[in-house]
């Protein structure tokens, strides 16, 4: 959809700074479009995931000297790549939001002493058919009747 909006064609295109700049300008993200360092970093993230795609790089000519193709797989990977850096151990650790974001896991371990009591968070299943707080309800009339 993004490629169709920006270029008029939905076929995968080489992910270049010019293409990314056009995309961000189209969606009124001018600050991002002007940040060459950020655009290069986006291309770098997309370039390092080509092995996961399963494509034969030699046949398509994609390599270090050619940019990766912007397709659905590349977009999904780049959109969710930061999830890999999430520290699952932080779920049961007492910490502040600041330390969760800016401190390394070894710093967090030092901050929490062995005698600290960890409070578990009680979770409950909420029926998505009636969960109108996050707009996941299936029927407006059902919510009204409820």
Residue 95 within any structural domain of the chain: no
Q: What is the arithmetic mean of pLDDT over 46-62?
A: 57
Residue 16 within any structural domain of the chain: yes
Residue 81 within any structural domain of the chain: yes
Closest alpha carbon to 104 in 87, 84, 88, 118: 87
Closest alpha carbon to 103 in 92, 94, 95: 95
pLDDT band at 90 (very low <50, low <70, confident <90, very high): confident
**Cα angle 2, 6, 9; round to 5:** 80
Residue 47 within any structural domain of the chain: yes
Question: What per-residue confidence (pLDDT) applies to 105?
Answer: 56
Question: What per-residue confidence (pLDDT) applies to 22?
Answer: 94
Question: What's the whole-number average pLDDT of the chain?
Answer: 75
Residue 101 within any structural domain of the chain: no
Is pLDDT of 82 > 50? yes
Q: What is the arithmetic mean of pLDDT over 25-41?
A: 92
Residue 29 within any structural domain of the chain: yes
The answer to whether 68 and 43 are in contact (CB under 8 A) is yes
The answer to whether 112 and 101 are in contact (CB under 8 A) is no
Question: What per-residue confidence (pLDDT) applies to 62?
Answer: 44
**Which residues constitute the domain of residue 28?**
2-85
pLDDT band at 100 (very low <50, low <70, confident <90, very high): confident
Where is average pLDDT lowest: 65-69, 110-114, 123-127, 138-142? 110-114
Count of structural domains, the chain: 1
pLDDT band at 58 (very low <50, low <70, confident <90, very high): very low
Residue 46 within any structural domain of the chain: yes
Q: What is the arithmetic mean of pLDDT over 108-112?
A: 52
Residue 38 within any structural domain of the chain: yes
């Amino acid at each position: 959809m993004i490629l169709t909006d920006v270029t008029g064609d939905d076929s995968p295109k080489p992910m270049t700074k010019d293409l990314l700049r056009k995309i961000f300008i189209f969606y009124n993200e001018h600050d991002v479009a002007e940040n060459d360092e950020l655009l290069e970093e986006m291309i770098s993230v997309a370039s390092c995931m080509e092995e996961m795609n399963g494509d034969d790089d030699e046949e398509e000519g994609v390599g270090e000297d050619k940019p990766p193709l912007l397709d659905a797989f590349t977009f999904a990977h780049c959109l969710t790549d930061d999830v890999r850096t999430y520290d699952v151990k932080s779920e049961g650790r007492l910490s502040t939001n600041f330390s969760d974001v800016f401190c390394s896991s070894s710093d967090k371990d030092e901050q929490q002493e062995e005698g600290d009591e960890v409070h578990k968070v009680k979770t409950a299943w909420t029926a998505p058919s009636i969960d109108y707080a996050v707009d996941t309800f299936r029927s407006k009339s059902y919510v009204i009747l409820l």
